[in-house]
């Protein structure tokens, strides 16, 4: 990896939604910071030829499972952040469902310190909402915030006790923390393994209705109205859930939402393959739901795209569909898939798409990231939005290979990633 932090990224189309920039220009980096052109000796800088490429603020993924501490057979902070760099992400948020759970200040401190030593990108820890993610007792949210947690969530689980959830969001709000919620009513979802609809009936599979998601989305909207708390709804996938979020935003509530690349690109028809790499929670839903998610991205009802990167070993996934774990990896495919499905199919412009990975998550979490402002940290992503290629999971940096996008024909890929001005990933390039 190159440690030089003085660069001139030359001749790219610079898109910075935060500063409303969309122009062909050079980007100057000195000592790891974005600087004005000609403000330092150009001879000390290395040149990156970005002609024909798109240069953006470093991408943010606010929904990543790094598995460490605990399940390091599937992923580690080192391999997960290498995958993030290869995917164009310069900042990621680590979910708390590790072993032990990140429900103590010590667990948060461990992630921070290990990531500083071993990480290739910025790792921001998320703290748990409840002790042990059990949904029975509120975690020490103030201590988690003081230790460095940037958000709180029981991701992968959902607090079912509405009274407890009310107290949790009120307490988190007192500390200025956004609550991230995995919206799932367990009494409705029960032991389902796919979306309830035409294909679940045809395949004879246990199913999860959209109502399981919609019930908790409705609950969280009510709690936000009651308390004024900021609640972010993770991986929204159902048509009616999108509609509820849209109305909540119109009503001025502090509600935000994210979508994943797999819910943007895929539907439940894929389950007929009985391939466990199509098993995730929330499940792949109908084409009507998929189009509703895209419409939500178009009108900014959904302001964030996040991967829900969830590594599992091959051994854990190579079992019957019913007993396989939920989840897929996504850090190294997100840009390619969303460029193909949203930009090249004319659903979103490039500035709109880039905002879902930059200003959207930065605003939701209240962090200083996702811009190319002068004087700011030089976290930068360079893309070739027209590069035609076939995704090959055997080349991934992630420890795991559980992706439904192996063999996917994509248009667009990440070329280089800079963190604090240092190049942490570069695709082979003759021009460099």
Q: How many angstroms separate the CA atoms of 216 and 236, rounded?
A: 11
Using CA atoms, how far residue 159 sits from 130, 293, 298, 325, in Å, is: 8, 24, 30, 20
Work out the number of other CB atoms within 10 angstroms of the CB of residue 23.
9
User: In which residue are the tokens 């570069």 written?
Assistant: 426
144 neighbors 128 (Cβ within 8 angstroms): yes
Structural domains in the chain? 56-365 (3.20.20.140)
The Cα 59–Cα 93 span in angstroms is 12
User: Distance between CA atoms of 103 and 356, rounded to whole angstroms?
Assistant: 29
Q: How far apart are the first and last CA of the chain?
A: 14
Residue 359 CA to residue 366 CA, distance in Å, equals: 10
What pLDDT was estimated at residue 121?
98
The pair of structure tokens assigned to 326 is 């939920």
Low-confidence ranges of the chain (pLDDT < 50): 1-2, 430-432
Structure tokens at 175: 């500390």
Spatial neighbors of 291 by CB under 8 A, at least 6 apart, are none
CA dihedral 248, 249, 250, 251 (to 10 degrees): 50
For residue 246, CA distances in Å to 218, 229, 297 come to 12, 17, 11
| Per-residue buried b or exposed e for 419-428, using 16+ beta carbons within 10 Å of the residue's own CB | bbbbbbbbee
* Number of other CB atoms surrounding residue 390 within 10 Å: 11
Closest to 265 measured CA to CA, from 211, 320, 183, 335:
335
CA nearest neighbour of 87 among 52, 60, 68: 60
- Token pair of 96 as six digits: 């708390």
- The predicted pLDDT at position 268 comes to 98
Which residues have a catalytic role annotated? 308
Please give the backbone phi and psi of residue 418, each rounded to the nearest 5 degrees, phi first. -115, 130
Q: With b meaning 16 or more CB within 10 Å and e meaning fewer, what string describes 357-386? A: bbbbbbbbbebebbbbeeebbbbbbbbbbe
* 283 three-class SS: coil
Q: In DSSP terms, which residues pair with 10 in a beta bridge?
A: 49
d(CA 284, CA 276): 12
Q: Note if the pTM is more than 0.95.
A: yes
CA distance 263 to 282: 9
List, for residues 96-127, the tens digit of each pLDDT value. Answer: 999 999 999 999 999 999 999 999 999 999 99
Q: Please tell me the predicted confidence (pLDDT) of residue 4.
A: 87
Q: Could you list the beta-strand ranges (E) of 323-408.
A: 380-390
Edge-to-edge strand ranges of the sheet holding 231-233: 59-64, 89-94, 122-127, 151-153, 178-181, 231-233, 255-259, 304-305
The contacts of residue 43 (CB under 8 Å, 6+ apart) are none
- Tally: H helices and E strands in the chain: 14, 18
| DSSP designation for 431 | T
What is the pLDDT at residue 343?
98
Do residues 12 and 53 lie in contact, with contact meaning Cβ atoms separated by under 8 Å?
yes
Q: What is the DSSP letter of 397?
A: S
**CA 38 to CA 76: how far, in whole Å?**
41
Q: Kindly state the DSSP code that residue 167 receives in the 8-state scheme.
A: H
Residues 6+ apart with CB under 8 A from 197: 207, 268, 285, 286
The answer to whether residues 428 and 413 touch, using CB atoms and an 8 Å cutoff, is no
Residue 393, token pair as written in the block: 């999971």
Residue 43's pLDDT is 80
Residue 213, both tokens: 């998601």
Q: What is the pLDDT of residues 335-383, one digit of tens each?
A: 999 999 999 999 999 999 999 999 999 999 999 999 999 999 999 999 9
């Amino acid at each position: 990896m190159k440690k030089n932090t003085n660069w001139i990224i030359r001749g790219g189309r610079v898109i910075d939604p935060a500063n409303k920039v969309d122009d062909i220009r050079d980007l100057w980096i000195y000592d790891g910071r974005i600087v004005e052109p000609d403000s330092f000796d150009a001879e000390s800088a290395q040149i990156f030829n970005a002609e024909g490429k798109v240069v953006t603020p470093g991408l943010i993924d606010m929904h990543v499972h790094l598995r460490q501490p605990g399940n390091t057979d599937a992923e580690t902070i080192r391999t997960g952040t290498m995958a993030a760099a290869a995917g164009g992400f310069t900042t990621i948020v680590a979910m708390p469902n590790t072993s032990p759970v990140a429900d103590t200040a010590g667990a948060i401190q461990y992630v921070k310190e290990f990531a500083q030593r071993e990480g290739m990108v910025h790792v921001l820890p998320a703290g748990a909402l409840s002790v042990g993610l059990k949904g029975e007792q509120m975690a020490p949210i103030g201590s988690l915030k003081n230790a460095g947690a940037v958000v709180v969530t029981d991701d992968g689980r959902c607090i079912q006790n509405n009274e407890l959830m009310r107290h949790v969001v009120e307490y988190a709000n007192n500390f200025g923390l956004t609550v991230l919620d995995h919206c799932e009513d367990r009494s409705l979802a029960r032991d389902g393994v796919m979306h309830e609809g035409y294909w679940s009936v045809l395949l004879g599979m246990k199913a999860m209705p959209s109502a399981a998601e919609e019930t908790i989305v409705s609950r969280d909207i009510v709690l936000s109205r009651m308390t004024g708390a900021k609640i972010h709804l993770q991986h929204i996938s159902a048509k009616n859930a999108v509609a509820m979020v849209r109305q909540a935003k119109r009503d001025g509530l502090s509600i935000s939402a994210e979508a994943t690349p797999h819910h943007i690109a895929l539907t439940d028809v894929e389950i007929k393959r009985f391939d466990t790499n199509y098993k995730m929670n929330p499940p792949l839903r109908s084409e009507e739901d998929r189009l509703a998610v895209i419409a939500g991205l178009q009108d900014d009802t959904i302001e964030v795209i996040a991967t829900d990167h969830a590594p599992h070993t091959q051994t854990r996934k190579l079992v019957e569909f019913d007993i396989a774990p939920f989840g897929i990896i996504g850090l190294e495919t997100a840009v390619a898939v969303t460029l193909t499905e949203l930009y090249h199919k004319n659903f979103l412009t490039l500035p709109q798409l880039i905002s879902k990975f930059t200003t959207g998550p930065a605003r939701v979490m209240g962090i200083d990231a996702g811009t190319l402002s002068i004087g700011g940290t030089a976290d930068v992503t360079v893309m070739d939005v027209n590069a035609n290629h076939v995704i090959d999971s055997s080349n991934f940096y992630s420890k795991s290979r559980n992706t439904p996008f192996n063999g996917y024909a994509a248009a667009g890929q990440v070329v280089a990633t800079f963190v604090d001005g240092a190049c942490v990933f570069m695709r082979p390039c003759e021009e460099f």
